[in-house]
Amino acid sequence: MIPSVQSTVLEEAVSEARVVIEGEGSIVEVERGKIYRIRLRLPPAKPGGPRKWSKQRTVRGNKAKARIEMERYRVELEEELNNEHSMLKVGEYAREFHERRKAMALLSPLSLECDEIEIKRIEETLGSVPVQKLDASVINKAYAKLRKQGLSASSLHKMHQKLSQIMKQAVKDEIILRNPCDLIDDVRRPKAKERRSLSSQQAMKLASDLKESERNGRIVAVWMALATGVRRGEALGLEWCDVDFAHKRVYVREQLDKRGVRRDPKSEKSQRNLSIDDGTVRFLSEWKVMQSDMFFGGGDVPDSTPVCTNETGGFISPSAFDRWRRSYFVEHGLGTFDKEEAWYDRNGIKRYRRSGYHGYNLHELRHTQATLLIGKGADIKTVQNRLGHSTASLTMDIYAHAIEQNDQEAAEVIGGLLNA
């Protein structure tokens, strides 16, 4: 739970002359002597401007009770209009909200990075709007502008989730009465793209190609993704201290982020121990001997050495790995480029500029692992643990297609037994 955001931002909110709501307002009888709707005329936002009606409230009881509730509503609205937060801007409050969460160490570094993206987007689009003036109309206009600028449905949904979270805290801080994001109903999570995976034949061919390719750290990273289902950052972040040859296990403790920094994995469940097969043990053992010759003169390889090393023995940059991986997948029938241009570097070596990649990515090797496991009858809990999913239900949601296929095959087996 986030404490009330009491900060210099709030303390510096400007107070103005007290606003008074005048007039009797409106009492509409919905059901004679039982139900009434009340509302009040609000002062103009600026001198000479129009007076808008407040939101309606429903009162159950007689008309006398409706009048009493009207006066209570008047006091409530005046307090809201005159409180210390009347000039607090959305951008200021969003930034203070973010900094408070950082100070409390509530989120992982990756989550904070993602939050920063959404906070900046909120600051740019709604930052100058007073928190108490933020309503559904203002939000919808901002979202319409972002859509026109080409913001994807997925990015807009993430921004809306963050804005709603911030406004929910504003309600708790008694800055506003209701969360305006609750009135927005057209920003839904986009339908997830169909998750692709390699067929068993494609997976076998890729495994064969990897064994036959000249061994390097990038080849090893692809092998680990295919053989264990680890994420890209988890594969690139492995050190030899994480590999237990005697017990045939790999320990996923940290991952390499997009900046090339080792940090905690995506979630607590992502820290896991994975069994590896004899083929993977052999593949890694051979590679460690090669590393010894390449970087340590045939001596012992320190435990802190990356499993997937670059040409100088350090960690492989995720962006450099992705560039190489796209080319490798194209060469081995798992993707295509729209455009390929040849050029020569200053040493006269022919190189290629490639763009417009269409094909499999490393994460889809992770899906391949799960789909093949489920297809072979592995239970959901085992698949969840290998993939590092937070819950078994998440695994079931993601791989429902494979589970459904298994269910159909099971039905046919039972049918064969009963109708034999």
pLDDT 10s digits, 141-153? 999 999 999 888 8
Can you list the pairs that 296-305 forms with residues at least 24 positions away whose Cβ atoms lie under 8 Å? Answer: 301/240, 302/240, 303/239, 303/240, 303/241, 304/239, 304/240, 304/241, 305/239, 305/240
pLDDT greater than 90 at residue 11 = no
* Chain segment 168-205, per-residue pLDDT in tens: 999 998 888 889 999 988 887 776 566 788 988 999 99
Count of helices and strands (H, E) across the chain: 15, 10
Q: Which amino acid is at 161?
A: Q
Query: Kindly report the CA angle at 31 between 26 and 37, in degrees rounded to 5?
Result: 25
* Chain segment 366-405, per-residue pLDDT in tens: 888 888 888 888 888 888 888 888 777 767 766 666 656 6
Burial status of residue 92 (CB atoms within 10 A of its CB: 0-12, 13-18, 19 or more): buried
* Chain segment 241-274, per-residue pLDDT in tens: 999 999 999 999 999 988 888 888 777 778 899 9
What is the per-residue pLDDT for 37? 94
| CATH 1.20.81 correct for 200-365 | no
- What is 133-167 written as a DSSP string? G--HHHHHHHHHHHHHTT--HHHHHHHHHHHHHHH
pTM of the model: 0.62
The C-alpha atoms of residue 69 and residue 317 are separated, in whole angstroms, by: 64
- What is 14-79 written as a DSSP string? PP-SPP---S--EEEEEETTTEEEEE-BPPPSSTTPPPPBPPPEEEES-HHHHHHHHHHHHHHHHH
What is the per-residue pLDDT for 7? 45
Distance between alpha carbon 218 and the CA centroid of its chain, in Å?
26
For the chain, give the mean pLDDT.
85
- Region 98-183: CATH code: 1.10.150.130
pLDDT greater than 50 at residue 9 = no
Check: CB of residue 321 under 8 Å from CB of residue 232: yes
Tokens of 125: 């689009």
Q: Which amino acid is at 212?
A: E
Query: Kindly report the CA angle at 73 between 71 and 76, in degrees rounded to 5?
Result: 115
The full set of domain ranges for the chain reads 17-82, 98-183, 200-365
For residue 83, what pLDDT band results from cuts at 50, 70 and 90?
A: low
Token pair 């006066």 is at which residue? 71
Phi, psi (rounded to 5 degrees) for 398: -70, -40
The sign of the torsion formed by the CA atoms of 83, 84, 85, 86 equals positive
3 state DSSP class of 272: strand
The C-alpha atoms of residue 255 and residue 242 are separated, in whole angstroms, by: 12
Please compute the mean of the pLDDT values over residues 126-150 and round it to a whole number.
92
pLDDT greater than 50 at residue 10 = no
